[in-house]
Structures are given as C-alpha cells and as structure tokens.
Amino acid sequence: MQFTDDSAMTMSLAESLIEKKDLDLVDLAKKFVKSYYQEPQRGYGSGVVTVFQKLRGSKFSDVLLPAKEQFHGQGSFGNGAAMRVAPVALFCYNHYDNLREFAKKQSLITHTHKIGVDGAILQAIAIQQSIHIHPDDQLNVIDFVDELVNKMNFVEEDEEGLDLVEAQPYKSQLNLIKKLLQEEGEENPIDDKVIKNLGNDISGLRSVPTAIFCFLRAQKPIKGIKTDNPFRRAVQYAISLGGDTDTIGSMTGAIAGAFYGEEVISPNILQHLEASTDFKDLADDLFQVATKMEWNSS
C-alpha cells in the first residue's frame, strides 16, 4: 500500500528535525517542496501545491508568506499541519512548551488560520500524552480528554476578534467527545452521530477531534470490527467513518501508536506498507536525537 501526502510530509519533518536538531523552517520548507516535486502523485491538495509553487518560485526568500496569502489572506484551516505533526511530539516528548511552539511553527509553512494551527497543536498534545501513558495501565478515556481540554483552554484563550463561530471550538469538540464516549457502547452504534458532530472532512476542526475519538473508542470492542488488536481496531474504525480517511486514519494511528508502541503492529501489515522500515528507522533516529537534546529552560 502506497503512502500519501500525510506520510510524505511527516517524513520530511522527521528528517529535518534529525538533521538540524532543531526546527529549521527554511530547511523544512525546502524538504516539503523537494518531496512534492519528486513525487507529486501522493495526493497533495491544490492549496498546498500552490504554496509549494510560490516557495520554489521565490527561492524560499520568505517561507511563511505563501501560506499567509492563502484564501484571501485568511490562511488554510485544513488538517494538513496536523496530519504531519507526529515527529514534533516525539522530538519534544518531554518538553511541553517546546511541543506547542514547534507544532505551531511547523504549521505556518502551509497553514496560518488558527483552526489549522490549533488542530496541529491538539494532535501533537494528544500524541505526547499517549507517549507518557503505559499501555498496560487502564486508560481512563474521560481523564484523557479532560487533560486535553485543560491544555487547549490555554491554547485557545486568545480567540478574541478572529471571527470564529465559537470562542474555543476545539475545547467544544473535546467536550463533545466526552459526551459521545459516555453514550456509546458496543451494541449502541453512534457512527452517524460521530460523523455529523465531530466530522470526517479535511478541516482541522472536523478531523483532529475525530481521530482522538477513534483512538479512545477503540479501547473497547467495536461492533462490526473483528479484531482483538486495539491499534488495528482504532485505525479500522477511523477508516470506516469515511471522508478524509487517509488523514484521519493516519492521525488516529499516530496517537494509538504512541500509546501502544510498535509491538502491537502486525508484521503482516507492515510488509504491505510502503517504506515501513524507513519510517521505523526515522522514529528511532528521532528519539535518539530527542533524548540528547538540551532545551533552554526559558
């Protein structure tokens, strides 16, 4: 199975963090553009392609300007920044403030609307939380969401004057996740409600919370998904919801993978996935770099 733009950009971000041992936006932009022009068939959206064309045409003189100009200056609120952010969560696995900063800054190369940026921050936080929970411990799904709510309360606190429908839209979606988790049961399918309320499209607001929900719902058996493997169950459930399946499945897999570890991923699946060994090696290298980082305390 070939990977799509999600994995291509994730790979570029991981490679840049490993090589630079920091978030170098010019290097990252160059890697994004190089990867796209080498393999443009990966399923990139038209908006990000325009950004890449402008970046190359300007010789990367201002790597943030093309994204700022998107959609009449409003920027993109899509999930493209969130879908690739997993390497930041691993690189900053023990440094929350840096996690927020890096997740935001890497977003700005392609996404400047606050919905797009905050979606990437939320996804990074969810992955980091999962890294720090031992998979043998019983996961309290409500506590997991409550921790996200508390963190996003500070991320979204400066929403004034941004013409958003809700003042704290991600916090609202997270509270809806709690409600859905408390309603659902194996014999009580709520898929239509999930799609209607959480969403399954390309916007950050209607895909990142969905990925988090898929991970949490898959802690228990799900009717119609016949596997005892919780990682596989989470990804299969995400795909079953339809819509932007590669991205929501990818984000769900990133959170679940951070929680369960590679041991739960079947070798039979990996052998059918393009470049799976390359991604494993990148993750190992990234973690080695991360453990040797000396972060500024300021």
Residues annotated within the binding site are 4-6, 244, 246-247
- Binding residues for Mg(2+), as ranges, are 4-6, 244, 246-247
Indicate the DSSP class of residue 262: G
Cα(55)–Cα(47) distance, integer angstroms: 13
CB 28 within 8 A of CB 12: yes
Token pair in block for residue 65: 């300007």
**Of 234, 185, 191, whose CA–CA distance to 211 is shortest?**
234
DSSP 23: -
Query: For the chain, where are the alpha helices, taking DSSP H only?
Result: 5-20, 25-38, 46-57, 65-69, 86-91, 96-107, 114-131, 141-155, 169-183, 191-197, 208-217, 230-240, 245-260, 267-270, 276-291
DSSP string, 37-76: HH-GGGT--HHHHHHHHHHHHTTTSSTTHHHHHTTTTT--
Strand-pair partners of 188 = 185
The structure tokens listed for 261 are: 């570890």
**DSSP code for 188:** B
| DSSP code for 184 | -
